[in-house]
A and B are shown apart, each in its own frame.
Chain A
């Protein structure tokens, strides 16, 4: 560093601070360039597109907010929203329950079996989502899957997992299998950070294992659980990959507009309505925004955010 003699302390501190700021910005610039090019500009462009309307017969014209009004009164979009809301109500508690119970059990037992189980439960998360969904599509297939053989052992007919009545449960199963491990690791890490002397104190006071788990551990990891639920909520509202992959074998049970994200995709790439697809995408973003911020507001005491 250059030698500064007899300068006042505050000026030296200010110079050093400004310099650090400049160097900091310099290092961020490559990332900022890519971030702006691939995220900010496309978002602005897509928002601009969503304000226009382009029909097959008459071409493009500016309509402004009328597109958004159309989106929020579109029965297909609202139906898709209702469906993902239902998925959220069923899938998030299911994933959370599996993750919580697994984390609590693994935290209590310290054996090598527990360590191995941790890896096994986490393993599905390491499988890419599309591969996992493809795998399950074969497992569900009446011809290629094991359901026929397994149910046949009990003398029963295998249910059709891909029929309209069963597709909801089938999709819940795939997502729970894939994501519970990830949430379990998050909760487990939070559990590991609790001081074990609290448990000893509780045992001295006469608490049983179950009471320790429910009265001490769960409240102390509340902020992690809120984070898990927020991620799960955002992910579920944007549900896309699994229904799309399953659609190739069950397109009767899964119409093109099954979830809002699938609807936006079909509008853009099957029906060539790019402007309305942008509108649907932004409308979904608005709903996700409201949903996640609303949830964080409701849990402001537990979520640990200021």
Chain B
């Protein structure tokens, strides 16, 4: 009888030990890197990033540094990575030392004290390497929360062959854009001129910004104050412009980044793709690109050709998280991983990134770069460099995800359901954001 009890206890103990063995094997985050660590004795800094071809940049850094090594994993793209980061902030562990963040979500994380102020770790040393606009996006008052990496100055990519077939010139103003859309439809083309996605998020915001919209005023030095102005006249005019086009069926209202949308981008259903500088890289990565297609790039259409306004869509940075064990080493990684010409050659040629690092941004190599996808056109010189030079920074809210979801609901109501006009939709957006901000304890200025 006693033997049976001991046998039972023994089974339980073995089972428990086996189970704990299972969990501890995957418990240590630092052990699993996608890349190879070249100097195992050096300090390891974990990095989450989703840049294409990033492993080569990491390998380059690891070869050139003896005291610090990068341990990189791709934790997902965009919101997928932010969800994991947000959960690890809440639980207090599991966040990487350095993380790739788009500039629009920096204040959402700095308000939760998840990012380290890099001004104490030598951020001022590299400030001169970046444009004023780019630096403004990563700073809030005196604090610097991230190091800029790439940007998304906007231009217009168009199918030369489709526009030539219907005798349409590439538009330079939004008025010409509307005329071109009408002309394309009248000629009986199977596709439309462009797409205005309801889930445009930063794209829609950039179009509003081009008309002078400054939706948010926020400074992390006074973290409980916020200014919200999303229903300004500029935004209303832009939304009304697009509503006219969508209601007449001249542009599509397909959701962006879906399989349908990707197919339509490459098969010529959209003749024009108003895109950021990472747009060409995105297009080249899609399947089914028509070999006979001729793509060209041109500056983004303007409201007033005498006073052109340049805008930005996306762009990412490297931030150091407050859970980093060795913050100085992590800051070194953030500053230097995309801080050499060699790293940027990989970034530009393999990942189609648009650098914000001035030594390569201002170089002849970058300016004269001929893009084979655009038939050898020097797209940087003609389109994206002027767009980047005119960019002066942008302020996002600390609840940008929520703001974008609300914006999407309103734009859907205007362009897809046709149940509201642009003015009412943006007024509703203003009141819902004000209500949310008040609920979250902000003081509206």
Residues of A within 8 A of B (CB): 1-2, 19, 22-23, 26-27, 29-30, 33-34, 55-58, 138, 141-144, 164, 248-252, 255-256, 266, 268-272, 274
Contacts and interface: CB of A to CB of B under 8 A. Distances in A.
B259 A144 contact: yes
Given A144-B260, A255-B409, A269-B87, A30 B12 contact: yes
Given A56-B442, A252-B412, A271-B399, A22 B5 contact: yes
28 contacts: A22-B5, A23-B4, A26-B8, A29-B12, A30-B15, A30-B19, A33-B16, A34-B19, A55-B439, A56-B441, A56-B442, A57-B224, A57-B441, A57-B442, A141-B260, A164-B416, A248-B258, A249-B258, A249-B259, A251-B199, A270-B83, A270-B401, A270-B405, A272-B86, A272-B89, A272-B108, A272-B112, A274-B90
A138 B259 CA distance: 9
Interface residues of B, number: 42
A270 B79 contact: yes
A55 B398 CA distance: 12
A270 B1 contact: no
B401 A271 contact: yes
Nearest to B260: A143
B129 interface: no
Interface in B397-435: 398-399, 401-402, 405, 408-409, 412, 416-417
A255 B406 CA distance: 9
Nearest to A1: B1
A164 B199 CA distance: 15
Given A26-B12, A57-B224, A143-B263, A251 B83 contact: no
B441 A269 contact: no
B28 interface: no
B264 to A, nearest CB: 8
A66 to B, nearest CB: 13
Contact of A56 (B83, B89, B255, B440): B440
A270 B442 CA distance: 19
Nearest to A59: B441
Given A26-B5, A271-B401, A57 B111 contact: yes
A269 B5 contact: no
Given A56-B399, A271-B399, 18 more contacts: A22-B5, A26-B12, A27-B8, A30-B12, A56-B111, A58-B441, A143-B263, A248-B258, A249-B259, A250-B255, A251-B198, A251-B255, A252-B198, A252-B416, A269-B83, A270-B79, A270-B402, A274-B90
Interface string B19-59: 10000000000000000000000000000000000000000
Contacts of B408: 251-252
B87 to A, nearest CB: 7
Contacts, number: 87
A255 B413 CA distance: 12
Contacts of A164: 416-417
A276 to B, nearest CB: 10
- Greatest chain B CB density within 10 A among A30, A141, A252 is at A252
A5 to B, nearest CB: 16
B90 A272 contact: yes
Nearest to A55: B441
Contacts of B440: 55-57
B431 to A, nearest CB: 14
B202 interface: no
Contacts of B223: 57
Contacts of B4: 23
Nearest to A34: B19
A58 B401 CA distance: 19
Contacts of B83: 269-270
Contact of A252 (B86, B255, B264): B255
Contacts of A255: 405, 409
B9 interface: yes
A124 to B, nearest CB: 23
A236 to B, nearest CB: 25
A26 to B, nearest CB: 4
Given A33-B16, A56-B399, A252 B108 contact: no
A27 B89 CA distance: 38
Contacts of A256: 405
A249 B399 CA distance: 24
Contacts of A56: 111-112, 398-399, 440-442
Contacts of A142: 260
Contacts of A269: 83, 86-87
Contacts of B15: 30
A141 B255 CA distance: 12
Contacts of B417: 164
Contacts of B402: 270-271
Contacts of A34: 19
A252 to B, nearest CB: 4
Interface in B85-106: 86-87, 89-90
Contacts of A33: 16
Contacts of A270: 79, 83, 401-402, 405
A80 to B, nearest CB: 15
Contact of B199 (A26, A29, A141, A252): A252
3 interchain residue pairs of minimum CB distance: A57-B441, A58-B441, A55-B441
A216 to B, nearest CB: 50
Contacts of B89: 272
Contacts of A271: 399, 401-402
B123 to A, nearest CB: 25
A58 B439 CA distance: 10
A271 B87 CA distance: 11
A266 B406 CA distance: 13
A141 B405 CA distance: 23
A19 to B, nearest CB: 7
Nearest to B84: A269
A71 to B, nearest CB: 13
Among B9, B15, B405, B442, chain A packs the most CB atoms within 10 A around the CB of B405
Interface string B257-291: 01110011000000000000000000000000000
Contacts of B5: 22-23, 26
Nearest to A164: B417
Contacts of A30: 12, 15-16, 19
Contacts of A248: 258
A110 B416 CA distance: 52
Most buried by B among A141, A256, A272: A272
Interface string B172-206: 00000000000000000000000000110000000
A2 B83 CA distance: 61
Interface in B227-262: 255, 258-260
A256 B1 CA distance: 59
B220 to A, nearest CB: 11
